[in-house]
């Protein structure tokens, strides 16, 4: 086989990559835990994210619409003065242009603001922090009374908003992501779900896809932590979605959704697995 300069350069870069600390860490995980190389690389990526190194290092450019905010640590009890609370630096998505524009056009500015409240509050909770109503008012350029009315409107729909003020008396309700998945399990189509909860179709599709990925990966790994790492969600989210799946399995109507869930999960897993594999080198004809 004739090796071109580009081919030799590619082989050289591949050898250098093998020598990196990331590959060393991944190899140690593979050998020590009997994980597959794919799973090991997922764990390495998550470790880099947790310890803020590499592309996750603090100071990197945020994605459009994101911002850094300081919020109260989730473990702090209700009623404790804010000045004595432990704080966390978190990254939240203030604006998601595609989703927010879609919701404002279809349902109006109030629905758009409620979607932003849900998104930012949930992102904060996923990072072990809680936003206050004052935080949300400041970020969205409105007053606390408006934020409070929005939260009350969402609670009337059975959707809870994880804010600092709601921590002690959260009341009955589910998250907007769980609400979307529940409607999906009731054989509702994504567009119908989006209209029901006044969310963007893009966001609803994402919630459903995440649920399908969790179910598929859990069947493959039989391990909640591995599933969380591969899908890129918290273990708590995995547990919640698996509980929904178990409850739905008792319903005969759910069987109509099983093939769709399997397909969605498989497509995602194969796509991510392909990205993790080293690129193939095309051979020139002899």
Measured on CA atoms in the order 96, 99, 102, 104, is the torsion positive or negative? negative
Write the pLDDT tens digit of every residue in 266-281.
876 666 554 444 444 3
* Domain map (residue ranges) of the chain: 5-57, 62-173, 174-286
CA distance 183 to 188: 6
| pTM attached to this predicted model | 0.68
CA distance 73 to 61: 24
CA distance 212 to 265: 5
Pairing of strands 129-130, 66-73: antiparallel
Write the pLDDT tens digit of every residue in 53-83.
665 555 567 888 999 999 999 999 877 888 8
Write the pLDDT tens digit of every residue in 107-158.
999 999 999 999 999 999 988 899 999 999 999 999 999 999 999 999 888 8
Q: Are 28 and 56 in contact (CB under 8 A)?
A: no
- For 278, residues 6+ apart whose C-beta sits below 8 A from its C-beta are 14
What is the four-CA torsion angle of 71, 76, 79, 85, rounded to 10 degrees?
-60
Helix (H) or strand (E) segment spanning residue 93: strand 87-93
**pLDDT value at 172 more than 50:** no
């Amino acid at each position: 086989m004739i090796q071109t300069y580009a081919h030799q350069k590619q082989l050289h870069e591949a050898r250098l990559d093998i020598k990196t600390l990331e590959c060393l860490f991944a190899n140690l995980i593979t050998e020590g835990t009997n994980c597959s190389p794919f799973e090991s690389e997922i764990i390495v990526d998550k470790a880099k994210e947790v310890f803020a190194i590499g592309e996750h290092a603090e100071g990197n450019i945020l994605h459009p619409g994101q911002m850094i905010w300081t919020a109260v640590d989730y473990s702090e009890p209700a009623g404790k003065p804010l000045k004595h609370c432990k704080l966390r630096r978190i990254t939240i998505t203030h604006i998601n242009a595609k989703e927010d524009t879609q919701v404002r056009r279809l349902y109006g500015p109030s629905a758009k603001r409620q979607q932003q409240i849900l998104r930012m509050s949930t992102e904060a909770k996923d990072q072990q922090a809680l936003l206050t109503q004052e935080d949300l008012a400041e970020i969205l350029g409105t007053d606390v009374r408006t934020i409070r009315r929005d939260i009350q409107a969402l609670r009337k729909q059975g959707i809870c908003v994880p804010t600092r003020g709601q921590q002690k008396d959260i009341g009955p309700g589910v998250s907007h992501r769980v609400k979307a998945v529940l409607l999906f399990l009731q054989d509702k189509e994504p567009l119908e779900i989006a209209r029901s909860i006044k969310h963007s179709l893009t966001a609803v599709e994402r919630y459903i896809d995440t649920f399908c990925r969790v179910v598929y990966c859990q069947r493959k790994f039989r391990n909640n932590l591995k599933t969380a790492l591969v899908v890129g969600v918290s273990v708590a989210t995995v547990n919640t979605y698996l509980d929904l799946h178990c409850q739905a399995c008792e319903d005969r109507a759910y069987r109509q959704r099983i093939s769709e869930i399997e397909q969605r999960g498989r497509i995602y897993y194969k796509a991510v697995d392909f990205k993790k594999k080293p690129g193939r080198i095309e051979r020139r004809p002899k």
